[in-house]
Amino acid sequence: MKIVNIDPANEQKKKHREDICELFEQMKTMASNGEIDEFVAVSIGEDGDIKLHAVSKDFLGGVGLFEIGKKIFIEQKDAE
């Protein structure tokens, strides 16, 4: 006898991870094609650890992207 247990929460987490990986693949393709030159992203781990990721051509651009990342995160948290 084979028992199958379907956990909707686990399936949702799996789909969410797949969506994240798909986005990274799209961004990788865009960066390879030269469509993305600089970017900023904010990530939150399952443990609540917050990270800002930025790639820029120079220091001032990096500071600007970092500040934009902070603003995006703060506005998102305020909306919740």
Provide the 8-state DSSP code for 35: S
Residue 27 burial (10 A CB sphere; 0-12, 13-18, 19+) = middle
| pLDDT one-digit tens code per residue, 7-35 | 778 888 889 999 999 999 999 999 999 99
Q: Can you give the pTM of this predicted structure?
A: 0.65
- End-to-end CA distance of the chain, in Å? 46
Check: CB of residue 37 under 8 Å from CB of residue 57. yes
| pLDDT one-digit tens code per residue, 41-75 | 888 888 888 888 888 889 888 888 888 888 887 88
Angle at 64 between CA 59 and CA 68, to 5 degrees: 145
Number of residues assigned to the chain: 80
The full set of domain ranges for the chain reads 29-80
